[in-house]
C-alpha cells in the first residue's frame, strides 16, 4: 500500500469515526430527552396514584405517617386559604371556593346563595 493510499484510508476512517461520534451524540441526546419525558410522566402517574390512595385510605384507622402528613398539609393549606380570603375582605364560597366579599348574598363566581357564612 502506497503512502497516498494509507493517507486516503486514514482520512476515510477518521471521517467515518467522526460521523459515528456525531450519530452517537445525537442518540444520547434523544435518549436523555426520552428518559426525562418518561420520568415526568411517571411522576404525574405517582401523583395521581397517591391522590387515589389517599382518598381511599384517609379515613382508615391506620398509623401511616404519609397519610397523617398529607392530612396535615391539606388542613394547613385550608387555614392559609381562609386567612388569605379574610385579608382580601371576604370568605371562600362553600361551593366553588371563590372569594365572596363580606356582606354578599351570592357568590359572583358560581351564583351560590350565601346566607350563613358571614354570621358569627
Ligand atoms: Zn361560588
What span, in angstroms and rounded, lies between the C-alpha atoms of 17 and 24? 10
pLDDT value of residue 82: 92
Please give the distance, rounded to the nearest whole angstrom, from the Cα atom of residue 59 to the centre of ligand 1.
27
Please give the distance, rounded to the nearest whole angstrom, from the Cα atom of residue 102 to the centre of ligand 1.
14
What span, in angstroms and rounded, lies between the C-alpha atoms of 101 and 89? 6
Please give the distance, rounded to the nearest whole angstrom, from the Cα atom of residue 74 to the centre of ligand 1.
20
pLDDT value of residue 115: 80
Cell 351564583 appears where?
A: 111
- Asked whether residue 95 carries a pLDDT value surpassing 80, the answer given is yes
Residues 2-11, mean pLDDT to the nearest whole number? 90
103 compared with 1, residue with greater pLDDT? 103
Q: What percent of the chain has pLDDT over 70?
A: 96
Cell 364560597 appears where?
A: 93
Query: 68 falls in which pLDDT band (50, 70, 90)?
Result: very high
- Asked whether residue 34 carries a pLDDT value surpassing 60, the answer given is yes
Q: Where are the domains of the chain?
A: 1-57, 59-120
Amino acid at each position: 500500500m502506497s503512502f497516498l493510499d494509507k493517507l486516503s484510508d486514514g482520512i476515510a476512517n477518521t471521517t467515518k469515526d467522526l460521523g459515528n461520534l456525531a450519530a452517537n451524540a445525537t442518540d444520547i441526546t434523544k435518549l436523555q430527552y426520552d428518559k426525562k419525558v418518561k420520568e415526568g410522566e411517571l411522576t404525574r402517574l405517582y401523583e395521581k396514584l397517591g391522590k387515589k390512595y389517599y382518598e381511599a385510605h384517609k379515613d382508615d384507622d391506620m398509623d401511616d405517617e404519609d397519610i397523617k402528613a398529607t392530612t396535615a398539609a391539606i388542613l394547613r393549606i385550608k387555614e392559609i386559604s381562609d386567612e388569605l380570603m379574610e385579608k382580601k375582605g371576604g370568605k371562600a364560597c362553600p361551593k366553588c371556593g371563590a372569594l365572596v366579599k363580606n356582606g354578599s348574598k351570592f357568590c359572583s363566581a358560581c351564583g351560590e346563595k350565601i346566607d350563613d357564612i358571614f354570621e358569627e
